[in-house]
Amino acid sequence: MGLNNGESSGAGLLEGSVMVTRLDEVTKPGGAQGIINWGRRWSIFQYPFVTACCGMEYMSWMCSHYDPGRFGAEAPRFSPRQADVMFVVGTISHKQAPVLKRVYDQMCEPKWVIAFGACASSGGFYDNYATVQGVDCIVPVDVYIPGCPPRPEAVLDAVMLLQEKIDREGPERWARREAASK
């Protein structure tokens, strides 16, 4: 998959599904980050915020044919408190924006957002009084998936890219996030 544990984390090697490392690598400051990231990126629990036609493609992607279980992402959580990634799937209206924001705020850190499809990414062709022009106007977005609707392959690609992003994260993320939320 090319998703091995990069040198930056310095915590060891990924062999198959086993992490090989040394105790002193893990216990030194920041040393466990590689293992933490490894765990996080293979257990992406999603909160599906599904509002429109993209939902059809989302369902297709969620089923066995495309099998997100290969990426540890097959478990949807319908409580934001148990979710790691919010999938915003479909058109978001201004009337709905407070709900989206609230769900996002209820998710525990670490959390990520995927904007699924043209509407969630940019408003799509709904450039009008009702529609939010991309959910990044409301919550920070990590991965944008183009398409109206996207192919399931594009969603898999997005999940893999999110995994790479998770893998590069260090403790400084939280400091920056905290600063940004003030």
Partner 1 sequence: MSQAILERLKERYEDGVVETATERGDDCAVLKREILVDVCRFLKDDADFAMNLFVDVTAVDWLDRRTPRFDVVFQLKSITKRHRVTLKVRVDDGDDAWVPSVTGVWRGADWFERELWDMFGVRVDGHPNLRRILMWDGFEGHPLRKDYPVAGRQPLVPLRKSEVHVFENNPVDPFVVGLGVVREKSDGDA
50 touching ligand SF4, by CB under 6 A: no
162/180 Cα distance (integer angstroms): 21
- When binding is defined by CB under 6 A, the residue of 36, 119, 141, 145 that contacts ligand SF4 is 119
Site for ligand SF4 in 99-118 (CB under 6 A): 117-118
Q: Which does 177 bind (CB under 5 to 8 A by kind): ligand SF4, partner 1, none?
A: partner 1
Residues forming a β-bridge with 45? none
Q: Site for ligand SF4 (CB under 6 A): how many residues?
A: 11
DSSP string, 133-164: S-GGGTS--SEEE-SSSPPHHHHHHHHHHHHH
Residues forming a β-bridge with 165? none
Residues forming a β-bridge with 89? 50, 116
Q: Which does 144 bind (CB under 5 to 8 A by kind): partner 1, ligand SF4, none?
A: partner 1
103 touching partner 1, by CB under 8 A: no
13/169 Cα distance (integer angstroms): 17
Q: What's the token pair of residue 47?
A: 């909160």
142 touching partner 1, by CB under 8 A: yes
149 touching ligand SF4, by CB under 6 A: yes
Give the residue ranges of DSSP H helices in 63-108: 97-106
52/89 Cα distance (integer angstroms): 7
Q: Helix, strand or coil for residue 166?
A: helix
Residue nearer to ligand SF4 on the CB measure, 14 or 132: 132
Residues that bind partner 1 (CB under 8 A): 2, 94-95, 97-98, 101, 128-130, 132, 134, 136-146, 151, 153-155, 157-162, 164-165, 168, 173, 176-177, 179-180
Residues that bind ligand SF4 (CB under 6 A): 52-54, 90-91, 117-119, 124, 148-149
